[in-house]
Amino acid sequence: MTPRLLALVLPVSVLVVTSVAPARAQEPVRVGSRVGTTDPASAAGYDTGGRRDPFVSLVMPRRPTPSGVTAHAGPRPSGLAGLSVADIQIRGIVRHGDRTTAIAEGPDGLSYVLRVKDRLFNAEVKSIEARVVVLVERVDTPTGVEAREVRKPLRPAGEGGGR
């Protein structure tokens, strides 16, 4: 191409490219206007665009109840099945032949009979010894449910933790 022809073609090609580019561009956005759909619950009017908040933890901690048991959905069952390890005090151990039972007092002041393999809300009775009841407690952790052994000693009604 000659320099004269190049001088004519180059401005025309630039003109064509600049005239096509604004047709593809989005409409200009006025300052102060909101873009996209907004969440009505959001006070700041931030548009999430369907994305999650990067500052919120993906691992949601469970809230412990006052007795120290991890909160589960729904109400607790009544009776022994609704009591946690932290709720009971061992008030007596009874041996009759080869069978041993324990008397536990709940936070409501009622007494419950414990036998080996009885289930509580978050534990199971593993064994009943001369002065202690051994329970296997299920504890929720971020990695799953773990089992740990808890020893509840015999306590007379007037000693520690009572009313």
Decide which of 143 and 163 is more confident: 143
Rounded Cα distance between 13 and 7, Å, is 11
* CA–CA separation, 145 and 148 (whole Å): 10
Model pLDDT, residue 67 = 46
85 secondary structure, DSSP code: G
pLDDT bracket for residue 118 (50, 70, 90): very high
Instruction: Give just the sign of the alpha carbon dihedral 107, 108, 109, 112.
Output: negative
Residue 108 token pair: 């409501």
Quick: pLDDT tens for 36-87: 554 455 556 667 778 887 887 777 665 554 444 444 556 788 888 899 999 8
pLDDT grade, residue 141 (50/70/90)? Answer: confident
Per cent of the chain over pLDDT 70 is 61
What does the block give as tokens for 67? 């007795």
Q: What is the pTM assigned to this prediction?
A: 0.52
**Res. 142 pLDDT band, cuts 50 70 90:** confident
